[in-house]
Structure 1
Amino acid sequence: MTLSEVIGQDHLLSKEAPLARMLASGRLSSLILWGPPGVGKTTLARIIADHADMEFVQLSAVFSGVADLRKVFEAAKARRSTGRGTLLFVDEIHRFNKAQQDGFLPYVENGTITLIGATTENPSFELNSALLSRAQVYVLKRLDKDAIDGLLKRAETHLNKSLPVTEEGRQALRDMADGDGRYALSLAEILFDYSGQTEFDEKGVAQILQKRRAHYDKGGEQHYNLISALHKSVRGSDPDAALYWLARMLSSGEDPIYIARRLVRMASEDIGLADTSALPAAMASLSAYQLLGTPEGELALAQTVVHLASAPKSNAVYSAFKAAQRLANETGSLSPPAHILNAPTALMKDLGYGDGYQYDPDTPEGFSGQDYFPDGMGRVDIYNPKGDGNESDIKNRLTKWRDIRKAKSG
């Protein structure tokens, strides 16, 4: 097999693409191949080894340890003395711990091995910076439906028989593969056993090939990518996209309670007082799901997603709280002004505690305009409502009160 026969990775392997240029130049460096399952990482590593005329050695980080690595390094040293290089392919390289990853460094640096590591996880988070600095990272893409179809046609040519499916059935097969070429071929292998019997439509394919859940790791990058997509769709006031990402997460097996907690966060962070019903709605969806469970309770989550995405947005409270935290850290342990301190003892009264305090409801405007910041600190406008939704009325009240305060202080 040659590079030109690899399907779905033209961004790396076309004539002017970076990996193709590297191989054409004859200067092969160590690589990290990052991509979802079943997109050809192992196949590509084998082809590179053949292209460079190197010994191909494969290890899995799941099943290998320090002893296995030592054997590989010793054999590579011996092989190098005869003039033949070694390409070490490590599948799931992110599963090696820091010490094991560091163990590659001297052998990569002195040329004993050329390392190709394969990972489904983001290398920035899972691999040591020292190892990353010595390897080029290439991202392999999820196979699109045309690429999956190309694999299926190649299988039909190889076996000299057609898949027993209608065009709708073939489409269903492509959908089930979900970008995973290896899985697509496994499904096709099952269908080939039915060749000559009948052609299966979408429903027939679904009955024979039980649809798997989409690729999803609740502790990995995909988990964070999807919740980020949901959050940003809500923040961007796009209920359609938000519902799509909610459905993606639920169908992939995400914990609905986790989603409900994130909806509570969105209500506070991105909507705040612009819609005072947003936070109660998010809390209610959490309670509703806990009461009803799956699947009935998922509708409450969907309702809240639409509510939050459709609501006016304001991060004024979120920004104000961040500013208040910074101000609190900067000002340290300043005491409250004496006039707002309670004076339960005679000594405290003598010290001026509570002296001059005005009870706001008793004032003509229902607002005293007193200063509640520490003495000598000065006023700081921290909360500045955006003026959308309910915050429009809040903004008007605050503006009025600020004007009164300035008039009384000046």
Structure 2
Amino acid sequence: MADLFAAFDPPAPAEVPTTGPLADRLRPRRLEEVVGQSHLTGPEGAIGRMVAAGKLSSMVLWGPPGTGKTTIARLLADAVGLRFASISAVFSGVADLKKVFAEARDHGRLGRRTLLFVDEIHRFNRAQQDGFLPYVEDGTVTLVGATTENPSFELNAALVSRAQVLILRRLDAEALETLLTRAEEAEGRPLPLDADARAALVASADGDGRFLLNQAETLFSIQLDAPLDPASLSALLQRRMAVYDKDREGHYNLISALHKSLRGSDPQAALYYLARMLTAGEEPLYVLRRITRFASEDIGLADPQALVQCLAAKDAYDFLGSPEGELAIVQACLYCATAPKSNAAYKAQKAAWRSAKETGSLMPPHNILNAPTKLMKEIGYGDGYAYDHDSDDGFSGANYWPEEFPPQHFYAPTERGFEKRLSERMAWWDARRHGRNPDAAS
């Protein structure tokens, strides 16, 4: 039990390590030193208010890699005097969880509560996540989970309901520049970069502070005769790959952004999101399938060529492959973005499908039924059918609706693009059906 009583001793002040990776040496020692997350750690932020009150609630820290989730969790424990325990969902199983909870309960009996930090918490399965609930509810642990994935999709609703979800932002240029300045102070010398290369280094990090400091550490380790320019920097260091998992939230966020940019007739933004997906390794035909769906859902008959362009792009991509065939996808994307928009066909489909389900198996009128047998002719199949081509203008005005179901108006074309012509045709036909002369002067 000696180790448990030792938990009552106040923690020794954290010392700045003089060895180890640069990112660890520059890890903040106080919440005020955390960069880029002042909306949470500042006096008016959720974390700032909890620390000021001296009481933490369980929380899930959701944000991109390298934004300070682990650091904040450690500093929170120090700030309110909680014992800090940490596990990773990548390397831990049920036995590890049981051990952590047992230790937390023992410390709790001695008056020392535990902050349990769970890295990559979304990697625990549903049953394992449920295992946290009783220990969170009875106060055995204050849970701080960290995840790069949307908690709405990856965490049990019961667990999310017992914790605040706090969103960490990707680090902006100002925050990343602060990290570089701290790195230079720690090393006692400036980075061997000219101004343009320094800006390029910050941009290459894509909001990931850890990645930036690792790149800076590499630069400090190299002996250079002169500062690097952007081209020399690019040749020396790799750019961070964009965060993008094809089965995760980033995938759905970008395809949503592409679809809405197309709908909003912004070809520049649509091309940007298309590029984001393809350069991150998305399957080109997946993107093209979504654009093809868009051609019917959001353009439809306002420009029937949109669908033709998409199908032609599919044939071109099948023929050429990547990267040459991707230009055909670009062409389809730009065509759809600049085409007149209409969701009239989409709305008509929904309405027609709904009516078909509601009306069941109503019989079409006898006049439009085929009568291949004598019996069918005798009972009126095909009786009175008006062959439209026999009319001077190719239109008979006959009724095609079941007797029990009056004519409906599912499709209402817009006044945009080709649908304007369709609207005029349909108005002409409707006038004829109702006995009016659509060609007469009004």
Structure 1 length normalisation: TM-score? 0.98
Structure 2 residue aligned with 1:88? 116
Moved more, 127-136 or 292-301: 292-301
1:311 to 307, 325, 339: 339
Does structure 2 conserve the Cα–Cα contact (< 8 Å) formed by 1:320 and 1:382? yes
1:66 to 94, 104, 109: 94
1:289 corresponds to 2:317: yes
SS at match of 1:114: strand
Structure 1 residue aligned with 2:11? none
SS at match of 1:186: helix
Which AA in structure 2 matches 1:274? A
Structure 1 residue aligned with 2:180? 152
1:225 corresponds to 2:253: yes
SS at match of 1:32: strand
Structure 2 residue aligned with 1:327? 355
CA distance in 2, matches of 1:319, 1:54: 57
CA distance in 2, matches of 1:319, 1:359: 30
SS at match of 2:182: helix
1:366 corresponds to 2:375: no
Structure 1 residue aligned with 2:75? 47
1:351 to 363, 379, 404: 379
Structure 2 residue aligned with 1:256? 284
Does structure 1 conserve the Cα–Cα contact (< 8 Å) formed by 2:206 and 2:240? no
1:402 corresponds to 2:425: no
Structure 1 residue aligned with 2:21? none
Which AA in structure 1 matches 2:139? G
SS at match of 2:213: helix
CA distance in 1, matches of 2:398, 2:258: 43
CA distance in 2, matches of 1:323, 1:399: 20
Does structure 1 conserve the Cα–Cα contact (< 8 Å) formed by 2:367 and 2:381? yes
| Cα shift at 1:40 | 0.4
CA distance in 1, matches of 2:297, 2:147: 34
CA deviations on 1:102-132 (whole Å, 9 max, x unpaired) are 1000000111000001111111111111111
| Cα shift at 1:144 | 0.6
Does structure 1 conserve the Cα–Cα contact (< 8 Å) formed by 2:107 and 2:114? yes
| Cα shift at 1:308 | 0.6
Does structure 2 conserve the Cα–Cα contact (< 8 Å) formed by 1:272 and 1:315? yes
Which AA in structure 2 matches 1:10? S
Structure 2 residue aligned with 1:32? 60
1:339 corresponds to 2:395: no
Shift of the 264–237 alpha-carbon distance from structure 1 to 2, 3 Å rule, reads same
Which AA in structure 2 matches 1:267? A
In structure 2, stretches of 5+ residues that fail to align are: 1-28, 437-442
Which 4+ runs in 1 deviate beyond 6 A?
A: none
SS at match of 1:407: coil
SS at match of 1:89: strand
| Cα shift at 1:196 | 5.0
1:377 corresponds to 2:394: no
Does structure 2 conserve the Cα–Cα contact (< 8 Å) formed by 1:164 and 1:194? no
SS at match of 2:112: coil
1:215 corresponds to 2:243: yes
CA deviations on 1:316-361 (whole Å, 9 max, x unpaired) are 1011001101111111111211111110001111111111111111
CA distance in 2, matches of 1:270, 1:43: 46
Does structure 2 conserve the Cα–Cα contact (< 8 Å) formed by 1:162 and 1:195? no
| Cα shift at 1:250 | 1.2
Structure 1 residue aligned with 2:125? 97
SS at match of 1:347: helix
| Cα shift at 1:165 | 0.8
CA deviations on 1:21-50 (whole Å, 9 max, x unpaired) are 111112210000000111000000000011
1:174 corresponds to 2:208: no
Report the RMSD for the aligned CA atoms in angstroms: 1.1
CA distance in 1, matches of 2:344, 2:318: 31
CA distance in 2, matches of 1:343, 1:77: 83
Does structure 1 conserve the Cα–Cα contact (< 8 Å) formed by 2:200 and 2:230? yes
CA distance in 2, matches of 1:370, 1:43: 75
Does structure 2 conserve the Cα–Cα contact (< 8 Å) formed by 1:213 and 1:251? no
| Cα shift at 1:197 | 3.3
Structure 2 residue aligned with 1:20? 48
CA distance in 1, matches of 2:380, 2:344: 36
CA distance in 2, matches of 1:210, 1:48: 34
Structure 2 residue aligned with 1:302? 330
Structure 2 residue aligned with 1:274? 302
Structure 2 length normalisation: TM-score? 0.91
Which AA in structure 1 matches 2:140? T
| Cα shift at 1:212 | 3.2
CA distance in 1, matches of 2:152, 2:379: 59
2:161 to 133, 151, 175: 133
| Cα shift at 1:198 | 2.4
Structure 2 residue aligned with 1:390? 418
CA distance in 1, matches of 2:105, 2:296: 60
Does structure 1 conserve the Cα–Cα contact (< 8 Å) formed by 2:88 and 2:118? yes
Which AA in structure 2 matches 1:391? E
Which AA in structure 2 matches 1:326? R
